Chains A and B, each alone.
Chain A
Amino acid sequence: MTPLNLFLLLSALLFSIGLAGALTRRNAILVLIGIELMLNAANINLIAFWRFGPNPEALTGVMFAIFSISVAAAEAAVGLAIILAVYRHNKTTNLNQIDTLKG
């Protein structure tokens, strides 16, 4: 069985990749994707702690992951709707060009 540390390391790596993407990309959709990646990394931790924890029959981590997946789905839907609305208004999804406070 793979030790817990490796799962934590993998999740830390995925989190950092997502963070770097969310901070450096200029396309709004890709920033959203970076945020989703960070959520996924957190999910790996939840499942790993469930599997290695003292009381796995309670399914705590699995439940947490399922709830977090549904929250992420809701977030993606609203986020993409906002991006579509912004695009309709500004004709671009490049975050550098969406910098006016007044429409």
Chain B
Amino acid sequence: MSLFFLITAAIAIGGTLAAMTRRNPIHCILSLALGLVGVAGVYLALGAQFVGFTQILVYVGAVAILATFALMMTQGHIVSALIEPRRAFSRSSVSGFVTAAGVFSVLGWAAQSYRPLTPSTQQAPAAGAKEVGVALMHTYVLPLEVIGVLLTAALIGAVVIALPSEEERS
């Protein structure tokens, strides 16, 4: 077990735990950004540099910032209204935690019962920009096109949804 993996895993777990438990949503999103950096570190520990830094660029630099932005747009001016009330043991939260604990026990049991495996190659195979680009343009060209259509649709869809309707504008 490498030290690097331990540190990044601790950052990932700590960040995401804080993201899901803090009462102030802005703190949640910041802890989430930290946790996602940790996840990117786990990718680096696995030797996938390109994906790791894409993760930072897309998740930390775009998705989490977008979430901060949405939060500031919707309720940024009233800090106190943002903070969720303490409701430790309401019925819905208990059932949520029980479900999550059940899922974790099943997944954890499955992961533990997996036979110990070592990588087939000592050094991670090169997964830099060039290799990824070649693979995208040859083997995975159809998924790439589909993703392109999806992203375009999402772009237009997001603009249309967020556009104020006629009555609201007047």
Contact = CB atoms under 8 A, between A and B. Distances in A.
The answer on A and B forming one complex is: yes
- Give the dominant DSSP class at A's interface: helix
Interface string A31-57: 011101100100110011011111111
B112 A48 contact: no
A30 interface: yes
A24 B67 contact: no
Given A21-B20, A80-B67, A51 B119 contact: yes
Nearest to A21: B20
B67 A33 contact: yes
A12 interface: yes
A13 to B, nearest CB: 6
A30 B31 CA distance: 12
B19 A62 contact: no
A43 B47 CA distance: 14
Contacts of A56: 119-121, 124-125
Contact of A84 (B54, B153, B162): B162
Contacts of A13: 13, 104, 108
Given A33-B19, A70-B151, A76-B66, A10 B9 contact: yes
Interface residues of A, number: 71
Contacts of B158: 77-78, 80-81
A40 B48 CA distance: 14
B45 A2 contact: yes
Contacts of A51: 46-48, 119, 124
Contacts of B66: 76-77, 80
Interface string B84-113: 100000001101110111011001101110
Interface string A1-27: 111111111101111111111011111
Given A13-B13, A75-B154, 20 more contacts: A1-B118, A4-B116, A5-B114, A6-B1, A8-B111, A9-B112, A10-B12, A12-B104, A12-B107, A23-B96, A24-B20, A24-B93, A27-B84, A29-B25, A47-B46, A62-B132, A66-B132, A67-B140, A80-B158, A88-B164
Top 7 A-B pairs, shortest CB-CB distance: A23-B96, A21-B20, A8-B111, A12-B107, A20-B100, A74-B154, A16-B104
29 contacts: A1-B119, A8-B114, A10-B9, A16-B107, A17-B100, A19-B103, A20-B99, A21-B19, A26-B84, A29-B25, A36-B59, A40-B55, A50-B46, A51-B47, A51-B119, A52-B118, A54-B120, A56-B120, A59-B131, A63-B139, A65-B43, A66-B51, A67-B140, A69-B54, A69-B55, A76-B63, A81-B159, A84-B70, A93-B75
